[in-house]
A and B are shown apart, each in its own frame.
Chain A
Amino acid sequence: MKKLDLVLAALFILMASVILFFNLQLKTEGETAVVTKDGEILTELDLSEDTIYEIEINDQYNRVKVEDGYVSMDHANCRDQLCVHYAPISDGPSSIVCLPHRVVISINLEKQGELDAISQ
Chain B
Amino acid sequence: MRLASRDHLMKFTVMAMLVSMAAVISYFERFIPVLNIPGVKLGLANVVTLMALLLFSWKEAFLIAFARVLLVSFFGGGPVSLLYSATGALFSLIAMRLALFLKDRLISVVGVSIIGAVVHNTAQCMVLAIILKSFDVAWGYYPILIYTAVVTGFITGYICLHFSKAISYTPIVKKQD
Contacts and interface: CB of A to CB of B under 8 A. Distances in A.
Interface of A: 1-2, 4-5, 8-9, 12-13, 15-17, 19-20, 23, 36, 38-39, 80, 82, 85-86, 93-95, 97, 99, 102, 104, 106, 109, 112-113, 116
Contacts of A38: 133
B132 A97 contact: yes
Nearest to A105: B137
Question: Which of A23, A39, A86, A97 has the most chain B CB atoms inside 10 A of its CB?
Answer: A97
B37 A23 contact: no
Q: Tell me if B's interface is mostly helix, strand, loop or mixed.
A: helix
B139 interface: yes
Interface string B92-114: 00000000000000111011001
Interface string B143-159: 11011011001100110
Interface of B: 36-39, 80, 106-108, 110-111, 114-115, 118, 131-134, 136-137, 139-140, 142-144, 146-147, 149-150, 153-154, 157-158, 161
A17 B38 contact: no
A112 B146 CA distance: 22
A113 B140 CA distance: 12
A20 B131 CA distance: 22
B147 A16 contact: yes
Nearest to B40: A99
B158 to A, nearest CB: 8
B134 A104 contact: yes
Given A1-B161, A102-B131, A8 B140 contact: no
Contact of A13 (B133, B139, B140, B146): B146
A86 B137 CA distance: 15
Q: Max chain A CB contacts within 10 Å: which of B150, B153, B158?
A: B150
B126 to A, nearest CB: 15
Given A16-B147, A80-B38, A99-B80, A2 B107 contact: yes
Given A23-B139, A109-B136, A5 B147 contact: no
A16 B38 CA distance: 22
9 contacts: A4-B107, A8-B114, A13-B147, A16-B143, A23-B140, A94-B140, A95-B140, A99-B37, A106-B136
What are the nearest 3 A-B pairs in CB distance?
A: A39-B133, A16-B146, A20-B143
B106 to A, nearest CB: 5
Contact of B108 (A2, A82, A85): A2
A23 B137 CA distance: 11
Contacts of B115: 8
B134 A36 contact: yes
